[in-house]
Chain A
Amino acid sequence: EVQLLESGGGLVQPGGSLRLSCAASGFTFRSNAMSWVRQPPGKGLEWVSYITTSGDTYYADSVKGRFTISRDTSKNTLYLQMNSLRADDTAVYYCTKDGSGWPFDSWGQGTLVTVSS
């Protein structure tokens, strides 16, 4: 069974940094592209970032230059380094696994990031 377990969320001041982690199990982590998707409280879904099996990375314009996605295949863990955080980054952040040609086919339970002074 695929399991994605996010951690690292919390309260941070504007301009601060946070690193999210996603521990993956139940599938061959190195063989699947992975993404982060976020959902502000009471709102819809927004794709944040994507990393391919070969390490190529893609970002939404709203986070480009501030967030960095990475993966450690030896630890089966996905990361999201978030710098220069703003109030509008407040959201539940979901770790997702891609399928064979389609996105987000498995989701973690999410971790809440709150940016506030």
Chain B
Amino acid sequence: QSVLTQPPSASGTPGQRVTISCSGSSSSIGTNTVNWYQQLPGTAPKLLIYSTTQRPSGVPDRFSASKSGTSASLAISGLQSEDEADYFCASWDDSLNAWVFGGGTKLTVL
């Protein structure tokens, strides 16, 4: 059971906009920044979003993220087939004194 809660799956057609949610608590997302990771099939995860809304260089601006209260969300616009991957959110939890992840969302491009 993950500390952060994500939907197990999401889907969309090419060109669509898809959002993935990540729900936490006052001691995690409510207090700290959120980071998002993309894991393409058979590869190591890759940093997609840091400090809640920032994109590392090389990440397309089709990827955006936000936070409100104890929840965060990742949005992917102009969906492409290469976006098919698992997406994970992560945050520091002040109560657990630990980094915590969401269970991951498998995105399917139909």
Do chains A and B stick together as partners? Answer: yes
- List A residues at the B interface (Cβ < 8 Å): 35, 37, 44-47, 50, 58, 60-61, 94, 99, 101-110
Contact between B45 and A107, CB atoms less than 8 A apart:
yes
Given A105-B56, A108-B44, A45–B98 Cβ distance below 8 Å? no
Complex Cα–Cα for A103 and B90 (A)? 9
Residue of A nearest to B44 (CB): A107
Query: Is the Cβ of B99 less than 8 Å from the Cβ of A94?
Result: no
CB within 8 Å for A45 and B104 given contacts A102-B33, A103-B99: yes
A-B contact pairs, 15 of them (CB 8 A): A44-B101, A45-B45, A47-B101, A58-B97, A58-B98, A60-B98, A99-B47, A102-B35, A103-B35, A103-B90, A104-B37, A104-B45, A105-B56, A107-B46, A109-B44
B103:A44 contact, CB within 8 angstroms: yes
- Report chain B residues within 8 Å CB of A109: 44
A60-B98, A103-B92 known; 18 new pairs, CB 8 Å cut-off, are A35-B99, A45-B45, A45-B88, A46-B101, A47-B90, A47-B99, A50-B99, A58-B98, A94-B44, A101-B51, A102-B50, A103-B35, A103-B90, A104-B37, A105-B56, A106-B47, A107-B44, A107-B46
- Distance (whole angstroms) from the CB of A57 to the closest CB of chain B: 12
B2 contacts partner chain A, Cβ-Cβ < 8 Å: yes
**B107 interface residue per 8 A CB criterion:** no
Q: Which residues of A contact B50 (CB under 8 A)?
A: 99, 102, 105
- CB B49 to nearest CB in A, in angstroms, measures 9
Query: Inside 8 A of A61's CB, which chain B residues have their CB?
Result: 96, 98
Smallest distance from the beta carbon of B62 to chain A beta carbons, Å?
20
- A44 lies within 8 A of B104 (CB): yes
Report the bound CA distance from A1 to B20 in whole Å.
Answer: 30
Q: Top 6 A-B pairs ranked by shortest CB distance?
A: A47-B99, A102-B50, A107-B44, A44-B104, A45-B101, A105-B47
Residue of B nearest to A92 (CB): B44
Q: Please tell me if the beta carbons of A102 and B46 are within 8 angstroms of each other in the complex.
A: no
* Proximity string of chain B (24-45) to chain A, C-beta cutoff 8 Å, 1 when within and 0 when not: 0000000001010100000011
CB neighbours (8 Å) of B37 from chain A are: 45, 104
